[in-house]
């Protein structure tokens, strides 16, 4: 068997934890398996690198940021190889150059395009444990790139797909994927399994367990994932294809406080307006989420939508700059809002799920600002101050509590 095992920053934060990870990998190796390990930078080292950079230059060139970032992962793979050697097992660390992991050119947010497997297979044939840097790649200019914060998960899945691994295990500091963030919902329980699509919605919605691109990639290549803790032996959560998972009506509830709302009031009610508005935002790479358009009245209409809170200022600036071309009356923005979502593959075949969510919020006297749905998800926008109460009530109402 060939196994890919990925360990996050907290799992390799210090000497004891590095040896703990080394031992877990060696256990696998001693069973006769080929073991490929993907690591993140130790602890909060990536954040430390960011503050070091900012201290020198508040707006550092992205290329140089990536150059800097890559040392974090390089440090952890080298130390891990040393730990395994110390334990008497041959191991070799490889960075993105040595493996050759090609990405698109976008510094700070690159996508993996191709991974050469030759070097890794050669090392495995020599019965070494191969330890690969997560998060990094190289682009067509032979510069280092990174895959976005949390990107080591994606490196692991991509490697598992390229090497046709038998399993891909993502080790983290939680026991698996929960029905809700246990810090917000004390009664949340661990899921035994979940579909790629549900996981995708939950990770995009801020459940924060997996990098969402890693789930996209796992789905595309059919790589089953196991999410489990590096600190204990519990079995974790299996993320896999729809057909193999017992469909839950609702598998999880997610809360995202990083959304802000913009309303454009008094737009002309004519064809092409929505296109013009969202086109000028798309051109500046602003991601728009929940969109609501009012019915036209007296020749005008309103459009509201949400953006990431980091993008709100730029969004308002772009719209103001285009005010005369778009022809609207005024803008309103609201920052104290939260996005609450329920996700479940079972919704496809069960009516009434959304109604139950709305009823629960009504019983709590919580007002809904905006609603958006997909086949397996219902999202509502509510006041930030209602968010804790709302997520707990909805989590209870769908019987998810332990
Ligand atoms: N070290 C990187 C980060 O902190 C990548 C990762 O941990 O996955 O974002
Ligand atoms: Mg992570």
Residues around ion ligand 2, judged by CB within 5 A, are 8, 150
Q: How far is the CA of 146 from the centre of ligand 1 (A)?
A: 9
- Examine residue 148 and state whether it is found in any structural domain, yes or no: yes
Per-residue pLDDT, 350: 84
Report the pocket of ligand 1 as residue ranges, CB < 6 Å: 8-9, 40-41, 46, 72, 134-135, 149-152
Question: DSSP string of 331-368?
Answer: EEEE-SEEEEEEE-GGGGG-TTHHHHHHHHHHHTT---
Task: Answer yes or no: are the C-beta atoms of 77 and 133 closer than 8 Å.
Answer: yes
Atom of ligand 1 at shortest distance to CA of 150? Answer: 8
Ligand in nearest proximity to the CA of 69:
1
Residue 253, in any domain of the structure:
no
150, exposed or middle or buried, with CB in 10 Å at 0-12, 13-18, 19+? buried
| Cβ atoms within 10 Å of 211's Cβ, excluding its own | 24
Closest ligand 1 atom to Cα of 152: 8
Report the pLDDT averaged over residues 24-33.
98
Mean pLDDT, to the nearest integer, of 40-47? Answer: 98
The pLDDT tens digits of the residues spanning 307-326 come to: 988 899 999 999 999 999 99
Q: Is 310 helix (H, G, I), strand (E, B) or coil?
A: helix
Q: Which of 84-98, 171-185, 330-344 has the lowest mean pLDDT?
A: 171-185
**Is position 115 within any domain?**
yes
- DSSP element (H, E) containing 185: none
82 vs 294: which has the higher pLDDT: 82
Q: Region 234-254: what's the mean pLDDT?
A: 84
Which residue spans within 112-245 are E strands per DSSP? 112-115, 129-133, 136-138, 144-146, 167-172, 193-195, 225-229, 237-240
Q: What value does the mean pLDDT take over residues 324-344?
A: 94
Is residue 7 very low, low, confident or very high in pLDDT (cuts 50, 70, 90)? very high
Atom of ligand 1 nearest to the CA of 148: 9
User: Confidence class of residue 152 from pLDDT cuts 50, 70 and 90?
Assistant: very high
Measured distance CA(124)–CA(258) in Å, rounded:
43
- pLDDT tens-digit profile of 218-233? 999 999 999 999 999 9
Ligand approaching nearest to the C-alpha of 171: 2
Return the structure tokens found at 290: 């929940």
Q: What range defines the domain where residue 85 resides? A: 2-173
60: its two tokens: 């550092």
* pLDDT band at 296; cut points 50, 70, 90: confident
pLDDT band at 207 (very low <50, low <70, confident <90, very high): low
Neighbours of 247 (CB within 10 A): 17
Give the chain's domain count: 1
- Kind and range of the H or E element at 60? none
Average pLDDT on 245-259 reads 85
Beta bridge partners of 306: 261
Whether 206 shows a pLDDT value over 80: the answer reads: no
Q: How far is the CA of 275 from the centre of ligand 1 (A)?
A: 36
- Which whole number is the average pLDDT over 86-112? 97
Q: Specify if 265 maps to a domain.
A: no
Separation CA 288–CA 278 (nearest Å): 8
User: Mean pLDDT across the stretch 267-279?
Assistant: 93
Q: Which of 50, 51, 150, when mutated, tests ligand 1's pocket best, judged by the most ligand atoms within 8 Å of its CB?
A: 150
Ligand 1 atom closest to the Cα of residue 211 is 8
Query: Span 244-267, mean pLDDT?
Result: 87
Q: Provide the 3-class DSSP secondary structure of residue 190.
A: strand
Distance 46 CA to ligand 1 centre (A): 6
* H helix runs in 227-352, sequence order: 273-283, 312-321, 323-326
Query: Is the residue at 166 inside a domain?
Result: yes
Supply 355's token pair.
């109604």
CA pair distance 290, 368, nearest whole angstrom = 13
Nearest-10 Cα torsion for 183, 188, 193, 194: -70
Q: Is 55 inside a domain boundary?
A: yes
Task: Give the bridge partners for 305, in sequence order.
Answer: 262, 291
- The answer to whether residue 227 sits within a structural domain is no
pLDDT average, residue stretch 159-180: 94
Nearest protein Cα to ligand 1, atom 4: 46
What CATH number is given to the structural domain containing 96? 3.40.1160.10
Q: Which residue's CA is the closest to the ligand 1 atom numbered 8? A: 150
Compute φ and ψ for 222, nearest 5 degrees. Answer: 60, 40
Strands 112-115 and 330-334: unpaired
Q: Which atom of ligand 1 is nearest to the CA of 151?
A: 8
Mean pLDDT, the chain, integer: 94
- What atom of ligand 1 comes closest to residue 8's alpha carbon? 7
Three-state secondary structure call for residue 218: helix
Name the residue of 68, 134, 215 to mutate for ligand 1: max ligand atoms within 8 A of Cβ. 134
Indicate the pLDDT class of residue 351, thresholds 50, 70 and 90: confident
- 46 alpha carbon, closest ligand: 1
What is the rounded distance in angstroms from the CA atom of residue 38 to the CA atom of residue 242?
27
* Res. 245: pLDDT tops 70: no
**Nearest CA residue ID for atom 9, ligand 1:** 149
Q: Is residue 73 in a domain?
A: yes
Q: Give the closest ligand to the alpha carbon of residue 44.
A: 1
Confidence at 243, pLDDT banded by 50, 70, 90 = low
When mean pLDDT is compared across 60-74, 131-145, 193-207, 268-282, the lowest value belongs to: 193-207
Question: pLDDT at position 126, please?
Answer: 98
According to the model, what pLDDT value does residue 95 have? Answer: 98
Positive or negative: CA dihedral 25, 26, 27, 28: positive
Q: Quote the CA–CA distance of 283 and 377 in Å, as a whole number.
A: 28
The answer to whether the beta carbons of residues 76 and 42 sit under 8 Å apart is yes
- Is 111's pLDDT higher than 90? yes
Nearest ligand to the CA of 151 is: 1
């Amino acid at each position: 068997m060939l196994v890919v095992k990925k360990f996050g920053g907290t799992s390799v934060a210090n000497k004891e934890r590095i040896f703990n990870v080394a031992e877990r990998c060696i256990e696998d190796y001693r069973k006769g398996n080929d073991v490929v390990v993907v690591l993140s930078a130790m602890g909060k080292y990536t954040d430390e690198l960011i503050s070091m950079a900012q201290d020198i230059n508040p707006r550092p060139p992205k290329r140089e940021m990536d150059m800097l970032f890559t040392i974090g992962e390089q440090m952890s793979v080298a130390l891990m190889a040393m730990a395994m050697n110390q334990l008497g097992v041959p191991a070799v660390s490889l960075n993105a150059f040595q493996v050759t992991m090609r990405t698109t050119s976008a510094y700070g947010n690159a996508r993996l395009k191709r991974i050469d497997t030759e070097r890794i297979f050669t090392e495995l044939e020599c019965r070494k444990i191969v330890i690969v840097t997560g998060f990094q790649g190289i682009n067509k200019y032979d510069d280092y790139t990174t895959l976005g914060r949390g990107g080591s998960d994606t490196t692991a899945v991509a490697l598992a797909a390229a090497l046709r691994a038998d399993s891909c295990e993502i080790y983290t500091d939680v026991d698996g994927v929960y029905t809700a963030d246990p810090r917000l919902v004390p009664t949340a329980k661990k899921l035994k399994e979940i579909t790629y699509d549900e996981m995708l919605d939950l990770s995009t919605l801020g459940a924060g367990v997996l990098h969402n691109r890693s789930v996209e990639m796992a789905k595309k290549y059919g790589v089953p994932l196991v999410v489990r803790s590096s600190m204990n032996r519990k079995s974790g959560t299996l993320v896999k294809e729809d057909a193999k998972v017992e469909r839950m009506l609702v598998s999880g509830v997610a809360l995202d406080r990083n959304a802000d709302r913009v309303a454009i009031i008094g737009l002309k009610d004519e064809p092409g307006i929505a296109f013009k508005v969202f086109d000028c935002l798309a051109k500046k790479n602003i991601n728009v989420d929940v969109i609501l358009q009012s019915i036209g009245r007296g020749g005008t209409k309103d459009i509201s939508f949400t953006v990431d809170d980091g993008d709100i200022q730029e969004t308002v600036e772009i719209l103001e700059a285009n005010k005369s071309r778009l022809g609207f009356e005024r803008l309103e923005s609201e920052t104290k809002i939260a996005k609450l979502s329920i996700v479940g593959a079972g919704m496809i075949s069960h009516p009434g799920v959304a109604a139950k969510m709305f009823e629960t919020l009504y019983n709590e006297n919580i007002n809904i600002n905006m609603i958006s749905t997909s086949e397996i998800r219902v999202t509502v926008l509510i006041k930030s101050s209602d968010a804790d109460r709302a997520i707990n009530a909805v989590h209870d109402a769908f019987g998810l509590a332990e």
